[in-house]
Structure 1
Amino acid sequence: MNKQKQFSVCGESLSAPMHICGFFDSREQQYEVIIPYILEGLNANDKVINILEGNRHGEHCRCLAENGISIAEKLSSGQLEVLASEDTYIKDGEFAAEKMYNMLEKNLLSAARGGYDSVRACGDMVWALKNLPGTDELLEYEASLNFLTPKHSCSLICMYDVSSFSQSALRDILLTHPYVIKNGKITKNLNYMEPLDFISSVSDFRSSSLKS
């Protein structure tokens, strides 16, 4: 499933596949961006996947419902999935880049078989601040997604809280995304590095450098 499909984010019309870094300084700013993105996808026969901390699911679903999304219907049909970081990124208490990459690809292939036109995924990356085993593979994982997205009709938004991650971590994370959302606007990332170049340059990233 590698056909291109138009989608909107931050009021801009773009084409999937796309890997986007979302830098947000508040929960409100995050939802201002992702609610229209999610709603458009649900109305356009896209599969929508949200990944965030399990303790945020109630609040997240209430926010979606308040914006006109039929949560029960969309969850029941499988078009919308709200997954926990604890069951995905850090399943079994650790992060494994290859395992997460394979899980995401499996979901993308499943969506294609299910007849969805495209996949839209938003992942809250706050789990990376827990310093669990394997977190040092975060940058390699982010870079590797740029091998995955061209194979599928999908758009992926990796959401980072700029007040929680260190500036040096955010600079490194930025290098792994072709597009960036900042201050509610999306732009092409002029600092983006091709994945092979980036991965070869990473030698000793440690999760302890993530926290401010």
Structure 2
Amino acid sequence: MHICGFFDSREQQYEVIIPYIMEGLNANDKVINILESSRHGEHCRCLADNGISIAEKLSSGQLEVLASENTYINGGKFAADKMYDMLENTLLSASRGGYESVRACGDMVWALKNLPGTDELLDYEAKLNLLTPKHSCSLICMYDVSSFSESTLKDVLLTHPYVIKDGKISKNELYVEPSALLSSLSDLQSGSLDS
């Protein structure tokens, strides 16, 4: 599953992702969180406050907390193909490591920095829908609705078969199949990402 999570506060975000992470850890899934390194301490405290034994899960490798700076925007730029390959390799590695499934959530705030390659965001999001059917995984792309423009959020919706809004997950009626979207992506009036 490839899910777009729309949140209007950090509290609302954690109300959704804490149960998602805990359920994954309890089911022996590999759990990956990607967010800016400046938030790692706060994030791990929040997980610990909800009963997750952070040190144990991190040391076993079942839980990974990665930095946006080392993943999405490694080297100060976004490269959709590199990020796609990194994610696919992570999914393959998790499978070889004995995990039946992977749960990942990534905070998309990095896309607001307008770094080189950010214009490949929709291409990347669309291509993830070619990746997810090949692996047992669920991916939540977390968007702060108060930070991104309405046009960007509308475009992002096109690339996710499921959406979380107001804390509830539902099938996204606006979703466009990746082959159709990728072939017409250059014609989309996506506007520019906010800074």
- Normalised to the residue count of structure 1, the TM-score between the two structures is 0.90
Q: Is the 8 A contact 1:181 1:187 kept in 2?
A: yes
Deviating beyond 3 angstroms after TM superposition, the runs of 4 or more aligned structure 1 residues are 204-208
1:73 maps onto 2:56 in alignment? yes
1:34 maps onto 2:17 in alignment? yes
Go from structure 1 to structure 2 and tell me whether the alpha carbon gap of 1:89 and 1:64 turns closer, same or farther (over 3 Å shift): same
Deviations 1:69-126 (A, max 9, x none): 0000000000000000000000000000000000000000000000011000000000
Residues 111-126 of structure 1 mapped to structure 2, 5 A cutoff: 111-126=94-109
Q: Report the equivalent of 1:176.
A: 159
**Which blocks of at least 5 consecutive residues in structure 2 are unaligned?**
none
Q: Report the equivalent of 1:138.
A: 121
Q: Secondary structure at the match of 2:186?
A: coil
1:150 is aligned with what amino acid? P
Residues 1-212 of structure 1 mapped to structure 2, 5 A cutoff: 18-203=1-186, 209-211=192-194
Go from structure 1 to structure 2 and tell me whether the alpha carbon gap of 1:75 and 1:205 turns closer, same or farther (over 3 Å shift): farther
Identity of aligned residues (%): 82
2:42 is aligned with what amino acid? E
1:107 is aligned with what amino acid? T
| Higher strand residue share | 1
Go from structure 1 to structure 2 and tell me whether the alpha carbon gap of 1:133 and 1:113 turns closer, same or farther (over 3 Å shift): same
For residue 199 of structure 1, report the CA deviation from its aligned partner. 1.0
For residue 208 of structure 1, report the CA deviation from its aligned partner. 6.9
Aligned counterparts of 1:77 and 1:192: Cα–Cα separation in 2: 37
Deviations 1:16-57 (A, max 9, x none): xx0000000000000000000000100111000000001000
2:60 is aligned with what amino acid? S
Aligned counterparts of 2:48 and 2:187: Cα–Cα separation in 1: 43
Aligned residues: 195
Aligned counterparts of 1:210 and 1:189: Cα–Cα separation in 2: 22
Q: Is the 8 A contact 1:135 1:206 kept in 2?
A: no
Q: Is the 8 A contact 1:50 1:82 kept in 2?
A: yes
1:85 is aligned with what amino acid? S
2:172 is aligned with what amino acid? N
2:108 is aligned with what amino acid? M
Q: Is the 8 A contact 2:152 2:190 kept in 1?
A: no
Go from structure 1 to structure 2 and tell me whether the alpha carbon gap of 1:204 and 1:133 turns closer, same or farther (over 3 Å shift): farther
Aligned counterparts of 2:86 and 2:104: Cα–Cα separation in 1: 13
Go from structure 1 to structure 2 and tell me whether the alpha carbon gap of 1:170 and 1:196 turns closer, same or farther (over 3 Å shift): same
Q: Is the 8 A contact 2:109 2:144 kept in 1?
A: yes
Q: Is the 8 A contact 1:98 1:141 kept in 2?
A: yes
| Higher helix residue share | 2
For residue 200 of structure 1, report the CA deviation from its aligned partner. 1.3
